[in-house]
A and B are shown apart, each in its own frame.
Chain A
Amino acid sequence: MAIYSFWVFDRHCNCIFDREWTLKSNQSSGTTNSKLNEDTAKLLYGMVYSLRSISQKLAGNEAHNEIRTIATGKYRAHILCTASGLWFILLSDLKQEDLSHVLRYLYGEIYVKTVAHNWLSPIDFAESEAEKRGQGFRKIRNRNFLLRVEQFLGPMVN
């Protein structure tokens, strides 16, 4: 099992959290909320956005045809889009067929408990109009979220 990276996007198309692991052998390697990941985040967002629109159009009259995974030659992207407009995305190797349960846990047990229930944390990370539509920069920085993401995903890195 190998997870490469984890991303959270908010309703304003902003990446509010990113975690990338660079060494398979080291759970604490890589970067968290890195400036260097800005462009990758935008590309990832664009890819999911496009495929999501297409899959919804293909569904025709049938409602809700949410995209769940996208596979390329090298990796697989696992996607959870909530009705509130949050996107949770994991990039893994091709062996991982379905990580939807992992994404559900990241949302329900980690995000909800350490961000939504944490009154010291913002729930909307864009503080003005200028920070909406993918132009924001604020990240989830509270230690409970960071710590629980590491504890939960760390063992899946290698």
Chain B
Amino acid sequence: MDSNQTPEMSEHQRQQLQFQLFQESLPKVNEMVYWMLLNETVPLAISVENNLSKSSTSEPEASQSLERELDSKLTLSPTNDLPSHKLLQQYLTADEEKQAKIKQRLSNTGFLLGQKLSQLLIFSNNPNISFKNMDLLTVMKFVCRDVWRQMYGKQIDNLKTNHRGTFYLLDYNYKPIESFALEENLSAQEHTLIEPYLEIPCGVIRGVLESLGFQEEGQVVCNATIVEPPESSGTTITGTPPAISFNVQVLSTQ
């Protein structure tokens, strides 16, 4: 911001700097509470699924209303819910239908977040984004750079496309699972446990694209897969989490 330097600063750089200062001036919270909130969304979705399937299989109405009366008076006792890691383990033994419901719930949460997030990013005067005449590639770059940076404090590491509407967003260090490790060795179980953790960002991508005009039902399909990290740099024992590929398919509407 030294005035001596300004002649060398282009208009774009100046805007960038302003944007950065603006970002820094916004209210903040400790990132740890955000990571923990994100981490608990999966056990939460499993717990919700448990509760919903329980209540659909008959429950004496009297005790329920008594319980509810007590609950509404004092929201006490953690209603004997299981610890997070135990809820996660239930995901391993759940049948496919239950797993699908859990994932759907998370994906929906992500979708809601994606819609709100794109509003937030649009109104933040980011000089890198022009929402006029955005083509699909620009939209994907926006997701890789701005959405990811906002949510995970980093950009997508690599963007690939087949030029027929499918994009592969590669994240070699997907933050929410950074600390994850189940046992001495990486196992198939651990991979299965990571899967539901990929649903929120998939939903976010759908939500962002929806609010940018890709609105038709089923127009955007997004899923994620665990992939080999780039050029196996001996990362098998160093405890690096696996790389993730977010696969986005956008169907043309014409």
| Touch A–B, Cβ below 8 Å | yes
Footprint of B on A, CB under 8 Å?
113-114, 117-124, 141-148
Asked if residues A147 and B179 are in contact (CB atoms below 8 Å), the reply is no
Footprint of A on B, CB under 8 Å?
32, 35-36, 39-40, 42-43, 83-86, 88, 179-186, 190, 193, 237-239
- Closest CB-CB distance, A83 to chain B, in whole Å? 18
Asked if residues A146 and B184 are in contact (CB atoms below 8 Å), the reply is yes
Asked if residues B83 and A120 are in contact (CB atoms below 8 Å), the reply is no
Asked if residues A143 and B183 are in contact (CB atoms below 8 Å), the reply is yes
Q: Which B residues touch A114, using CB under 8 A? A: 179, 181
- In the complex the two chains form, what is the Cα distance from A21 to B77 in whole Å? 44
In the A-B complex, list the 4 residue pairs whose CB atoms are closest, starting with the nearest.
A142-B181, A117-B179, A144-B181, A118-B179
- In the complex the two chains form, what is the Cα distance from A142 to B181 in whole Å? 5
- Closest CB-CB distance, B82 to chain A, in whole Å? 10
Residue of B nearest to A115 (CB): B179
Asked if residues A120 and B181 are in contact (CB atoms below 8 Å), the reply is yes
Asked if residues B237 and A120 are in contact (CB atoms below 8 Å), the reply is no
Residue of A nearest to B38 (CB): A119
Q: A143-B183, A147-B239 are in contact. List 17 more A-B contacts (CB 8 A).
A: A114-B179, A117-B35, A117-B39, A118-B181, A119-B40, A119-B85, A120-B88, A120-B193, A122-B83, A122-B85, A122-B86, A123-B84, A142-B181, A143-B239, A145-B181, A147-B237, A148-B239
Q: Which B residues touch A118, using CB under 8 A? A: 179-181
Residue of A nearest to B184 (CB): A143
- Closest CB-CB distance, B45 to chain A, in whole Å? 13
- In the complex the two chains form, what is the Cα distance from A123 to B88 in whole Å? 13
Q: Which B residues touch A121, using CB under 8 A? A: 85, 181-182
- Closest CB-CB distance, B47 to chain A, in whole Å? 13
- Closest CB-CB distance, A144 to chain B, in whole Å? 4
Q: Which A residues touch B84, using CB under 8 A? A: 119, 123
Of B40, B85, B86, B179, the residue contacting A144 (CB under 8 A) is B179
Q: Which B residues touch A141, using CB under 8 A? A: 183-184
Of A122, A123, A124, A143, the residue contacting B181 (CB under 8 A) is A143
Q: Which A residues touch B184, using CB under 8 A? A: 141-143, 146
Chain A to chain B contacts (Cβ below 8 Å), 21 pairs: A114-B179, A117-B179, A118-B179, A118-B180, A119-B39, A119-B85, A119-B179, A120-B85, A120-B180, A120-B190, A122-B86, A123-B83, A141-B183, A142-B182, A142-B183, A143-B181, A143-B185, A143-B239, A146-B184, A147-B237, A148-B239
- In the complex the two chains form, what is the Cα distance from A19 to B180 in whole Å? 22
- In the complex the two chains form, what is the Cα distance from A118 to B39 in whole Å? 9
Q: Which B residues touch A148, using CB under 8 A? A: 239
- In the complex the two chains form, what is the Cα distance from A34 to B142 in whole Å? 52
- In the complex the two chains form, what is the Cα distance from A95 to B186 in whole Å? 39
Residue of B nearest to A127 (CB): B86
Most interface-central of B86, B184, B190 (chain A CB within 10 A): B184
- In the complex the two chains form, what is the Cα distance from A122 to B85 in whole Å? 6
Of B32, B83, B180, B239, the residue contacting A124 (CB under 8 A) is B83
Residue of A nearest to B40 (CB): A119
Residue of B nearest to A148 (CB): B239
Q: Which B residues touch A144, using CB under 8 A? A: 179, 181, 239
- Closest CB-CB distance, A101 to chain B, in whole Å? 22
- Closest CB-CB distance, B68 to chain A, in whole Å? 29
- Closest CB-CB distance, A63 to chain B, in whole Å? 28
- In the complex the two chains form, what is the Cα distance from A110 to B183 in whole Å? 16
Residue of B nearest to A145 (CB): B181
- In the complex the two chains form, what is the Cα distance from A95 to B83 in whole Å? 43
Most interface-central of B35, B43, B183, B190 (chain A CB within 10 A): B183
